[in-house]
Amino acid sequence: PGVDILQVQRHARKLRIGSHRRNAFEIRLHDCTGPREAWDARLHTIARQGFPNYFGAQRFGRGFSNLTAAERLFASPKNRWPRHKRSLALSAARSWLFNAVCAERLQSGCWQMPPVNELWVLEGSRSFFRGEDAAADRARMDAGDIHPSGPLWGRRDAADDDDLAARERAWLMPYDAFCEGLASAGLKMERRALRSLAHDLQWRWTGEASLTLSFTLNTGCFATALLRELASCPEGLDA
C-alpha cells in the first residue's frame, strides 16, 4: 500500500551473502489433524518465544551425502578437493555439531534458561558477548534482543576454555573426528543463535484442515526448523 513498482528487471550481479537481512515465507499445510485450538496455541508460543534454530536437513544433502563427504575429507585431509565440494562438506559437519548442541540444550532444559556464563548473540547478527548480569540478560532475551548461542566449530582460543566450552565439548565427544577435522581445516570458532524468531508470524485457516502460515526469518534460518516444532510434514510443501 502506498508504493508503486515502476520497473522490474534482472540484475547482472548475483545476490551476495549478507546482501539482505531476512527471507519471507508463505507456506500452506494440508491435512492438519488434531484440535485447531492446539495448533493455534502452539503458533502463539512460537510467535512469543521463537523456536530452536536448527539447520535444516537440506544442509546435509540427500541421504546425508554431505556428512559422508565430510568423513572422507577428514580421513584424508591431504587429498585435493574442489573448493565447492570441500565447502559443502565442512559446512555440513559444522551444522551437524551445532544441531547436536542445540538438542542437548533443549533436553537439559537450558535452551530458555541459559547458564550464567552464556555467550549471547545479538538478534540478526553473529556478534556475541559474555553474559555478566543474569537478570538484565534474561530481560533482553525475553524482549528478543539477544539469544543464547551454540558453536560453529573451529579452532578455539585459550580464553574460550571455560565451563560452557567444557560442557559443549563433552556433548560433542561422539563427533570428535568432526571437531578435530574442522579445527585442522583452519576454521575459527564462531557462534550462532540457538533461537530464531518468526517475525511477523501470521496464520489463517483456509479450510477444515488447511492452514496458511506467513512469516519472515533472518538469513541463515530455516523455515523447516519452524515447521518441525509445529507438525510432522512427511510430504512436500507448497510454498
Would residue 170 count as lying in a domain? yes
Cα distances from 13 to residues 9, 19, 133, 219, in angstroms, run: 12, 12, 45, 19
Q: What is the rounded distance in angstroms from the CA atom of residue 104 to the CA atom of residue 81?
A: 33
Would residue 1 count as lying in a domain? no
Domain shared by 142 and 169, yes or no: yes
Would residue 9 count as lying in a domain? no
Would residue 8 count as lying in a domain? no
Alpha helices in the chain (DSSP H): 36-49, 65-75, 83-107, 134-142, 163-171, 176-184, 223-228
Would residue 6 count as lying in a domain? no
- The one-digit pLDDT tens for each residue of the chain (239 residues) are 577 888 888 877 776 665 677 899 999 999 999 999 999 999 999 999 999 999 999 999 999 999 999 999 999 988 899 999 999 999 999 999 999 999 999 999 888 888 778 899 999 888 899 988 888 999 999 999 999 999 999 998 755 668 888 999 999 999 999 999 999 999 999 999 999 999 999 999 998 899 999 999 999 999 999 999 998 766 444 33
Domain shared by 39 and 129, yes or no: no
- pLDDT at res. 1: 54
Dihedral (Cα; 116, 99, 221, 135), 10-degree rounding:
-10
- pLDDT at res. 42: 95
Domain shared by 46 and 138, yes or no: no
Would residue 3 count as lying in a domain? no
Overall number of domains in the chain: 2
- pLDDT at res. 161: 64
Domain shared by 106 and 174, yes or no: yes
- pLDDT at res. 117: 82
Domain shared by 34 and 70, yes or no: no
Q: What is the rounded distance in angstroms from the CA atom of residue 130 to the CA atom of residue 142?
A: 17
CB 167 within 8 A of CB 196: no
Instruction: Return the CATH number at 79.
Output: 3.30.2340.10
Residues 230, 64, 232, CA angle at the centre, nearest 5°?
Answer: 15
Would residue 58 count as lying in a domain? yes
Domain shared by 187 and 213, yes or no: no
CB 226 within 8 A of CB 46: yes
**Domain enclosing residue 84, as ranges:** 54-196
Domain shared by 99 and 140, yes or no: yes
Q: What is the rounded distance in angstroms from the CA atom of residue 41 to the CA atom of residue 58?
A: 28
Domain shared by 175 and 204, yes or no: no
Domain shared by 39 and 133, yes or no: no
Domain shared by 128 and 220, yes or no: no
Domain shared by 172 and 212, yes or no: no
